[in-house]
Amino acid sequence: MKVTVTVNGRPVAAGVADRTLLVHFLRDEAGLTATNIGCDTSSCGACTVLLDGQSVKSCTVLAVQADGSEVTTVEGLASDSGDMHPVQRAFHAEHALQCGFCTPGMVMAAVSLLAENPKPTEEQVRSGLEGNLCRCTGYHNIVRAVLAASEG
């Protein structure tokens, strides 16, 4: 069926099978491959995006469910002039990424977390990111980056 999703401010329309997952719509129809797939049980959070401002695991949303919605991926975070989002800048400054595979989902989860709780404690950051797995950083610098971003 035909689905139209506004992705990073740009409408993307495509005919998709009913079972098509949002993450595949983003990767294959919108051509935005930053959002990764790290599991098949909604456990790892690599595919986290914002759907109408709320963070979702895009492997757990059907593309048809997103019809008419707005989606933001990590490619859409930087400003129009190309400046990185404060969370992206903090991830860079704090060495909060290594292989980079979890990073787009982790950044989007962090953006969502800070939107809900602009001044989280370390414990709140840790519990807030529990649904996003990273195998490289031990989470140490990710937590520091989110806290740094929260302090502006």
Partner 1 sequence: MSILGTRVVRTEDPRLLTAGGTYVDDLRVPELAGAARVTFVRSPLAHARITGIDASAAHEAPGLVAVLTYRDINDIPPPPLPPEGGPPPGSEAAPLPLGGPWQEPLLAVDRVRFVGEAVAIVLTDDSYQGEDAAELVTVDYEPLPAVVDLGEAMAGGTLLFPDAGSNVPVAHPAGDLAFDGCDVVVEREIVNQRVAPVPMEGRATAASWVDGKLTVWASTQNAQISRFILAGAFGLDPAAIRVIAPDVGGGFGAKVGLDRDAIVVAWAARHTGRAVRWVETRSENLTGMTHGRAQRHTVKIGGTRDGRVLAYRLDVVQDTGAYPRMGGFLPTLTNLMAPGPYDIAHVEAGYRVVVTTTTPISAYRGAGRPEATAAIERAMDLFAAEIGMDPAEVRRKNLVPSDQFPYQTPCGALYDTGDYIGGLDKVLAGAGYADLRAEQARRRERGDVVQIGIGVSCYVEITAADADNGETARVVVHDDGTATVYTGSSAHGQGHHTSWAMIVEADLGIPMDKVTVKHGDTDEIPLGTGTYASRSLQLGGVAVHRANLEVKELARKLAADLMEASEADLELDTASGSWQVRGDPAASRTWADVASYAGAEGLAAFVHYTDGAPTFPFGSHVAVAEVDTETGKVTLVRHVTVDDAGTVLNPVLTEGQRHGGIAQGVAQALLEEMVYDADGNPLTGTLVDYATITAAELPSFELLVSETPATVNPLGAKGIGEAGTIGATPAMQSAVIDAVSHLGVRHIDMPTTPVRVWAAISEARASQ
Q: Which residues form the interface with partner 1 (CB under 8 A)? A: 17, 19-20, 27, 31, 33-41, 43-44, 46, 74-75, 77-78, 84, 88, 91-93, 95, 97-104, 107, 122, 125-127, 129-144
Nearer to partner 1, 22 or 68 (CB): 22
Q: How far is CA 66 from the centre of its chain?
A: 15
Nearer to partner 1, 8 or 69 (CB): 8
Report the first-to-last Cα separation within the chain, whole angstroms: 43
Q: How far is the CB of 4 from partner 1 (least distance, A)?
A: 21
Q: How far is the CB of 11 from partner 1 (least distance, A)?
A: 21
Structure tokens at 57: 């695991």
Phi, psi dihedrals of residue 120, rounded to the nearest 5° = -75, 155
DSSP state of 28: I
Nearer to partner 1, 24 or 68 (CB): 24
Is there a contact between 26 and 49 (Cβ–Cβ < 8 Å)?
yes
